[in-house]
């Protein structure tokens, strides 16, 4: 079966447009995928073959302000599950899993908190956590300089976030492609550099940077501000099984974030991968999806 690709736009009751891509096996188990920051549904395009392999219909929304989705100045993490449920209802999907990659991770955790009645499982991959600043003081827990600066602004002066993120957007559009790719990969660990060397991965990652978008910078700034502020729900109250995946060599979002999530989400399962970095999910997507399906099978055999 060939990977499936379709992008649709849903008009919500509040007048916003919410776009989503539909990848993988149209008859498979449904999993919603949440892209990173910045990003769009296109980040999951290289995973479409893995979704087919796993027997998964992978639905990937553009979060508000990204891709074809309307920017929402009042967006919250706790409100994101309502948008996800709106797509599920429009498609007639009653039960589904979620996977959040990088900046999509907190959005998946929000669904684990709010959608326990319909979720079959939740996976977060390389996700930020609401880790207090004093717990990220050691060098092993700090991200690369640009990310460290952005996270610092998010906690101390979120109003300034559009400045570095806007500069990144301008560089993404104006620098020659070979120079842009060299600069973006210069600080990556070897594991990520190997993955970024693959054309289909690099093309997906750089497509959003090369595209001029009127609200993507605002949406990125909003994401970082939401990650740094109280998330609007208690991790300790989550009843959905959450699988937390993280590489030990991740310099975008250090592995300390995964340990924080695992320590605070009851019943979570931590998968720490030695020598892997931030982008390992492109090599292990079928494995992560298969784990989600195993959770769904277990839930069906042991209903609450």
Where are the domains positioned within the chain?
Answer: 7-301
pLDDT of amino acid 142: 66
154 C-beta neighbours (distance < 10 Å), count: 20
pLDDT of amino acid 137: 44
pLDDT of amino acid 252: 92
pLDDT of amino acid 169: 85
DSSP string covering 285-300, please? HHHHHHHHHHHHHHHH
pLDDT of amino acid 287: 95
Q: What's the alpha-carbon Rg for the chain, to the nearest Å?
A: 18
Q: Which CATH class is domain 7-301?
A: alpha beta
Q: In whole angstroms, give the CA distance from residue 221 to residue 37.
A: 9
Q: Which two tokens stand for residue 8?
A: 């649709």
pLDDT of amino acid 4: 53
Q: In whole angstroms, give the CA distance from residue 136 to residue 62.
A: 30
Phi, psi of 266 (to 5 degrees): -60, 135
Say what the pTM is.
0.93
Phi, psi of 273 (to 5 degrees): -110, 110
pLDDT of amino acid 203: 85
Query: CB burial class (10 A; 0-12, 13-18, 19+) of residue 193?
Result: middle
Eight-state DSSP code of residue 95: -
Phi, psi of 271 (to 5 degrees): -120, 100
**What is the mean pLDDT, run by run of 10 residues, along the chain of 304 residues?**
71 96 94 96 94 95 96 97 98 97 98 97 97 56 81 92 90 78 80 92 82 91 96 96 96 94 97 96 95 74 51
Beta-strand runs (E) in the chain = 7-11, 17-24, 29-34, 56-61, 96-101, 119-125, 242-247, 269-273
Q: In whole angstroms, give the CA distance from residue 19 to residue 11.
A: 9
């Amino acid at each position: 079966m060939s990977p499936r690709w379709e992008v649709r736009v849903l008009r919500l009751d509040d007048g916003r447009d919410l776009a989503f891509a539909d990848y993988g096996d149209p008859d498979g188990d449904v999993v919603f995928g949440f892209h990173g920051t910045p990003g769009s549904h296109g980040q999951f395009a290289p995973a479409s073959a893995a979704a087919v392999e796993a027997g998964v219909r992978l639905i990937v929304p553009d979060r508000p302000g990204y891709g074809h989705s309307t920017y929402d100045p009042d967006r919250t993490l706790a409100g994101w599950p309502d948008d996800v449920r709106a797509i599920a209802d429009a498609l007639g999907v009653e039960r589904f899993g979620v996977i959040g990659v990088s900046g999509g991770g907190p959005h998946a955790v929000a669904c684990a908190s709010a959608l326990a009645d319909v979720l079959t499982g939740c996976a977060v991959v390389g996700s930020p956590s609401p880790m207090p600043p004093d717990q990220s003081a050691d060098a092993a827990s700090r991200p690369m300089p640009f990310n460290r600066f952005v996270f610092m602004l998010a906690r101390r002066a979120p109003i300034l976030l559009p400045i570095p993120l806007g500069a990144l957007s301008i560089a993404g559009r104006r620098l020659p492609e070979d120079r842009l790719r060299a600069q973006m990969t210069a600080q990556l660990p070897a594991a990520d550099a190997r993955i970024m060397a693959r054309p289909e991965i690099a093309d997906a990652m750089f497509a959003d940077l090369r595209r001029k978008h009127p609200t993507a910078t605002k949406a990125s700034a909003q994401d970082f501000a939401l990650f740094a502020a109280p998330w609007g729900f208690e991790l300790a109250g989550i009843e959905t099984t959450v699988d937390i995946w993280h590489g030990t060599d991740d310099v975008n979002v250090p592995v300390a974030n995964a340990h924080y999530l695992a320590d605070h989400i009851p019943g979570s399962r931590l998968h720490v991968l030695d020598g892997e970095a931030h982008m390992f999910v492109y090599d292990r997507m079928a494995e992560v999806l298969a784990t989600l399906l195993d959770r769904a099978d277990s839930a069906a055999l042991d209903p609450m």
